[in-house]
Amino acid sequence: METLVRIAEGLGRFSSRFVPSAFAIAVLLSLLTMGLALGWAGASPEQVLGAWGGGFWELLPFSMQMALVMFTGYLLALTSPVRTLLERLAGLAKSPRGAVALMAGVSMGLAYINWGLSLVASAMLVRFVARRQPDVDYRLLVACAYFGLGATWHAGLSASAPLLVATPGHFLEKQLGIIPINLTLFSAFNLGLTVAVVAGLAVLAWALHPKPEATVKVEPAVLEKLGDFVPPERPTERSVAVWLDHAWLLNVIFGVLGLAWFARHLALNGGWRALNLNVVNFLFLTLAVLLHLTPARLLKASEEAGSVLHGIVLQFPLYAGIYGIFKATGLTDRIGELFVSLSTRETFPAIVYLYSGVVNYFVPSGGSKWAIEAPYLLNAASSLGVAPEKVVLAYAWGDMATDLIQPFWALPLLTVARLEFKDILGFLLLAFLLYLPFVTLAFFLFG
């Protein structure tokens, strides 16, 4: 255990000294992708430049969805009922080690249900656990809040690729047909691997907590910023405008209408399977409006919630530019050809897992790049005699594996926590170095 802590601390010192900000990482990845497209994919400089600039705005709808995930989730966390719930959940931890294990378990459990919910709720829970357990290592606590995005989301109920191929009318239906989720998400292999990973990372979180003398605690200034939301006072002036802004009527009407639409949407579209980013954002916004009770309180909370969006607005376009290069220059095909050339029928699932992880580090798309990669991977699987559901699962697990060491999805969490990615990277690197070979072996033996 002490050896693991020393390794994590060593990786932390390395990352603190040599790993730049998340924005700098995005720029460096952009330059590396351009170089690969020029030197390996054989694209011309003009083609690469055009693909980069043209792709810059391809993820605008997704960027807005992510901004709303963070914004609406933050709004919801500032309501009295949710704050009380998070306080009680944070109170379950009775020690610093228990706090990080709790955070890891909550993050991975929520990500299994819905990755957007995990991203928001874990970020919000950090502030309550840090206040309840001020002696916890704050870097490790925030790192554990990120575990769900790298370990369970694409094996769970919001998994993009498995849910897509299970949906009638998907773009590969003529080639694949419908692959029901009992062959992917609810297969014995996927469920067993998920349980093993969750248990392993929760134990690792507990084991990684440094001794008290080596613990890096949350700074008082940061803890103060994580304090309770103070609602606005009602003005003494009496007018219709003041009454409307401080009355519950409009919020309740909006909330009831929103909940009615949400219930109707689920009833008409297959229940929980109808959940997606837009529906989750709609629900979060509806609940936030309802639980804040008055327009004035909601507006003041929105000012604080808006303060966590700058990382998304600044950096997501850079990753969209990288996505454009991969999409337009054939770079994805070249990487795929390399991995497939190393494959046999027995090793193909493990190779797909590693391949998907490599591409995901450059294009952390949340599964949307499946449309680019699937035709090539499935053709190769067919020629090797590998069942398509195995390819879907291998792709899904690889797509989330490198999220552990990619700052893209961590930006909202880091903004709320007031940390840099390099502050938590040491712990994440160690988790990744243990997690990656374990899952690779699982796909090699049982995939």
Select the highest-mean-pLDDT range: 26-35, 173-182, 359-368.
26-35
Closest CA to 245 of 73, 305, 237, 282: 237
Rounded average pLDDT over 141-164:
88
pLDDT at residue 364, rounded to an integer: 78
Total residues found in the chain within this entry: 447
Residue with more model confidence, 102 or 219? 102
Q: Which of 21-30, 166-175, 305-314, 339-348 has the lowest mean pLDDT?
A: 166-175
Rounded average pLDDT over 347-370:
83
C-beta separation of 207 from 4 below 8 A: yes
Q: Which residue has the tokens 């939301």?
A: 229
Q: What is the dihedral of CA 195, 419, 213, 131, to 10 degrees?
A: -80
Residue 33 has pLDDT above 70, yes or no: yes
pLDDT at residue 367, rounded to an integer: 60
Q: How confident is the model at residue 98 (pLDDT cuts 50, 70, 90)?
A: very high
pLDDT at residue 157, rounded to an integer: 78
Rounded average pLDDT over 25-40:
92
Tell me: the pLDDT tens digits for 43-61?
999 999 999 999 888 778 8
C-beta separation of 68 from 374 below 8 A: no
pLDDT at residue 368, rounded to an integer: 62
pLDDT at residue 365, rounded to an integer: 67
pLDDT, averaged across the chain: 87
DSSP, collapsed to helix, strand or coil, labels residue 179 as: coil
DSSP, collapsed to helix, strand or coil, labels residue 412 as: helix
Tell me: the pLDDT tens digits for 99-135?
999 999 999 998 898 777 788 788 889 988 998 898 9
Q: At 197, list the tokens.
A: 């990973």
Select the highest-mean-pLDDT range: 161-165, 265-269, 388-392.
388-392
Give the CB-side neighbour count of residue 204, counting CA atoms within 13 A: 23
Rounded average pLDDT over 167-176:
74
Residue 81 has pLDDT above 70, yes or no: yes
Q: How confident is the model at residue 20 (pLDDT cuts 50, 70, 90)?
A: confident
Residue with more model confidence, 344 or 274? 344
Closest CA to 87 of 293, 210, 209, 226: 226
pLDDT at residue 1, rounded to an integer: 65
pLDDT at residue 52, rounded to an integer: 94
Distance separating alpha carbons of residues 445 and 375, to the nearest angstrom:
25
Rounded average pLDDT over 130-159:
91
Domain ranges of the chain: 1-446
Distance separating alpha carbons of residues 375 and 336, to the nearest angstrom:
11
Backbone dihedral region for residue 308 (phi beyond 0: left; psi -120 to 50: alpha; all else: beta) = alpha
Residue 96 has pLDDT above 90, yes or no: yes
Residue 245 has pLDDT above 70, yes or no: yes
Rounded average pLDDT over 129-148:
94
pLDDT at residue 9, rounded to an integer: 78
Percent over 70 (pLDDT), the chain: 96
Residue with more model confidence, 231 or 253? 253
**Quick one: CA dihedral 116, 119, 122, 125, positive or negative?**
negative
Q: How many CB atoms lie within 10 A of CB 193?
A: 20
What Cα–Cα distance (Å) separates residue 361 from each residue in 5, 12, 346, 376? 26, 20, 25, 19
Tell me: the pLDDT tens digits for 298-314?
999 998 888 878 877 88
